[in-house]
Amino acid sequence: MDHITVKAPATSANLGSGFDVFGIALQIPYDIIELEPQDVTEIKVDGVGRDLISTDPAKNTAGITASELGCNAKITVHKGIRPCSGLGSSAASAAGAALGLNELFGLRLSENELIRAAVKGEKVVSGAAHADNVAAALLGGFTIANGENVIQLEPPDIGIVAVLPDISVETRAARSILPPKVSLEDLVFNVGNASSLVIGMVTGNLELIGRSMQDRIITPVRSKLIPCYEDVRESALEAGAAGATISGSGPAMIAVCEFDRRGEIADAMVGAFNRNGIKSEPFITRPGSGAEIVKGSE
- Residue 251: domain span: 159-285
Q: CB-side exposure of 280: number of CA atoms within 13 Å?
A: 32
The answer to whether residues 109 and 250 belong to one domain is: no
Tell me the CATH number at 229: 3.30.70.890
What whole-number distance in Å separates Cα of residue 233 and Cα of residue 96?
31
Handedness of CA 288, 12, 153, 5 (dihedral sign): positive
The answer to whether residues 89 and 105 belong to one domain is: yes
CB atoms within 10 A of CB 153: 14
The answer to whether residues 19 and 104 belong to one domain is: yes
- Alpha helices (runs of H) in 127-183, residue ranges in sequence order: 132-139, 171-176
What whole-number distance in Å separates Cα of residue 152 and Cα of residue 163?
25
Instruction: Report pTM.
Output: 0.94
The answer to whether residues 34 and 149 belong to one domain is: yes
**pLDDT tens digits for the chain (298 residues)?**
789 999 999 999 999 999 999 999 999 999 999 999 999 999 999 999 999 999 999 999 999 999 999 999 999 999 999 999 999 999 999 999 999 999 999 999 999 999 999 998 887 766 666 899 999 999 999 999 987 789 999 999 999 999 999 998 877 778 888 999 999 999 999 999 999 999 999 999 999 999 999 999 999 999 999 999 999 999 999 999 999 999 999 999 999 999 999 999 999 999 999 999 999 999 999 999 999 999 876 5
What whole-number distance in Å separates Cα of residue 154 and Cα of residue 140?
8
The answer to whether residues 74 and 131 belong to one domain is: yes
Contacts of 144 (CB under 8 A, 6+ apart): 18, 21, 22, 150, 151, 152, 153, 198
| Identity of residue 129 | A
98 and 114 Cβ atoms separated by less than 8 Å: yes
Active-site positions? 122, 171
pLDDT value for 297? 65
What whole-number distance in Å separates Cα of residue 34 and Cα of residue 114?
17
pLDDT value for 148? 74
Tell me the CATH number at 76: 3.30.230.10
Contacts of 59 (CB under 8 A, 6+ apart): 124
The answer to whether residues 113 and 177 belong to one domain is: no
The answer to whether residues 145 and 223 belong to one domain is: no
Q: How many structural domains compose the chain?
A: 2
The answer to whether residues 50 and 136 belong to one domain is: yes
The answer to whether residues 118 and 180 belong to one domain is: no
pLDDT value for 89? 94
The answer to whether residues 126 and 248 belong to one domain is: no
Q: Is 49 left (phi over 0), alpha (psi -120 to 50) or beta?
A: left
204 and 153 Cβ atoms separated by less than 8 Å: no
What whole-number distance in Å separates Cα of residue 74 and Cα of residue 76?
7
Contacts of 82 (CB under 8 A, 6+ apart): 48, 49, 89, 164
The answer to whether residues 212 and 266 belong to one domain is: yes
Report the Cα–Cα distance between both ends of the chain, in Å, rounded. 4
The answer to whether residues 146 and 277 belong to one domain is: no
pLDDT value for 28? 97
